[in-house]
Amino acid sequence: MSILEADSNRLLQAVLALLKQKDILTDQEIAERIASTDSATPARGAMMVAKAWVDPAYRALMLRDGAQAAEAVGIPMRGLPPLGVLENTDTQHHLVVCTLCSCYPRAVLGYPPFWFKSAAYRARAVRDPRGLLAEWGTALPDNVQLRVVDSTADYRWMVLPLRPAGTEGWSEAELAAIVQEGDMIGVTLPTP
C-alpha cells in the first residue's frame, strides 16, 4: 500500500468514525451502502428502461426525477447525487460523458466501464461525438441532433434509449434483456 493510499484510508476511517459518533450513519447503514454499490450492475438500469418503455406513468416519473424512479423499483438512492434521465427520440440522441473524471450513476449502472474513464473517450465525446459513435457501430441519421451531456459530481445522467421497432408486445424482462450498458450511456443502441 502506498503512502497516498494509506493516508486516504486513514482519512476515510476518520470520516466514518465521525459520522457514526454524530449518529449520522450506523455501521449497518455503511455496510448496506457498500453492499448496494458492489452489487449494482447495468441490469438495474436496464430494468428501469424496460419499465419506462411499457409504463407511461413510470416513464414520466423517470424523466422528471430519475432518483425517485430508481427508488420506486427498489434501488436505494439516499445520499447520492441526483439522477437525470435523458430521453432519446427519433430526432435527438444523447451521449453521456464525464469530462473531468468518471462521475457515473453507479447505483443504477454499477461501476463505470474502463473506457468511460479514459482520457481518449472523454476527449472524443466532446470533440468528435459522431466519429466516436461510428467507432461503436452507432450511425445516426444526419437529421438526428446529437447532444453531449456532462455527468458531474453534483448531477449524474443516464440515457433512456429509444425503444427498438419490432419489440411491441414484449415483456419487461424480454425488453430488459436487450438493453446494454452502452445504450444507457448513449454510445450504442438497443437491438432486438
Give the active site residues. 98, 101-103
Number of neighbouring beta carbons within 10 Å of residue 13: 10
- What does the DSSP 8-state code read for residue 169? T
CB 92 within 8 A of CB 165: no
The backbone region for 80, taken as left when phi is positive above 0, alpha when psi lies in -120 to 50, beta otherwise, is beta
Q: How far is CA 57 from the centre of its chain?
A: 21
Q: What is the DSSP string of 50-116?
A: HHHHH-HHHHHHHHH-HHHHHHHTT---TTSPPEEEEE--SSEEEEEE-SSS----HHHH-SPPHHH
* Alpha-helical regions (H) of 22-55: 27-39, 42-54
